[in-house]
Amino acid sequence: MRIGIFGGTFDPPHIGHQVLAIETYHQLALNKLLWVLTPSPPHKPNRTITPLEYRVKMVQATVGDEPGFEFSRVEIDRPPPHFAVDTVENLREQFPAGHLVYLLGEDSLRDLPLWREARKFVTMTDTLAVMPRPAASPDLAVLERDLPGLREKLHFIDAPLLQISSTDIRHRAKEGRPYRYLLPPAVYAIIRRYGLYGLRGGD
């Protein structure tokens, strides 16, 4: 079984996330893709994050009834801190014969040597599906030196480059600027219903 792991705070999940997810699902012939919601990312200790209950609603709405997509509680149901290496280890225990595909952006690939137990993470992951980022240009030779065996596990996803970020969407909502069409309709409805991101209305 080929299993994708798509982790993030998803605050909020947007159409860029959906594009990466569906392209990876098809290009790597996955059997399922797990949307792994991180309750409190250890690398963002000082950032205010939307309460978990609302992010759960938004990710579940994003997953919807898309065949092959699945909402995962693998990080929600264990105590923090939530590091990728621990998530992969837990999923390896659940799927001992599975081929684990971890999704990340090219900017995260560049910073991968700084991750907690990065070498163990690379060893335990079968494929790293990388979404190109125009502003990121990792040196693969340097990465391979720091993380031996990394290069052979990389698969760069051929997908539209959408300049969409959750940070920008939060700012747009707070400032009353348009953001509706950057989101799945069900996520937009949740933001409006609960008044998330300091929503001032009008969009």
**CATH code of the domain covering residue 59:** 3.40.50.620
Looking at residue 21, its amino acid is: A
Q: Does residue 169 form part of some domain?
A: no
From CA 69, how far away is CA 49, in angstroms rounded?
Answer: 24
Q: Does residue 98 form part of some domain?
A: yes
Q: For the purposes of burial, counting CB atoms within 10 Å of the CB of 143, is it exposed (0-12), middle (13-18) or buried (19 or more)? A: buried
From CA 103, how far away is CA 88, in angstroms rounded?
Answer: 12
Q: Express each pLDDT in 30-87 by its tens digit.
A: 999 999 999 987 766 667 899 999 999 999 999 998 999 999 999 999 998 899 999 9
Give the residue numbers spanning the domain of 127.
2-164
Q: Does residue 93 form part of some domain?
A: yes
Mean of pLDDT over the chain: 92
pTM of the model: 0.92
Assess whether pLDDT exceeds 50 at residue 203. Answer: no
- Give the total number of structural domains in the chain: 1
From CA 109, how far away is CA 39, in angstroms rounded?
Answer: 22
Cis peptide before 134 (omega within 30 of 0): no
| Ramachandran class of 173: left when φ > 0, alpha when ψ lies in -120 to 50, beta otherwise | alpha
- Nearest Cα residue to 103 out of 69, 135, 128: 128
Q: Does residue 106 form part of some domain?
A: yes
Q: Does residue 153 form part of some domain?
A: yes
Longest dimension (CA), the chain: 52
From CA 181, how far away is CA 14, in angstroms rounded?
Answer: 9
Q: What's the pLDDT band for 202 if we cut at 50, 70, 90?
A: very low
Q: Express each pLDDT in 158-169 by its tens digit.
A: 988 788 899 999
Q: Does residue 127 form part of some domain?
A: yes
Q: Does residue 202 form part of some domain?
A: no
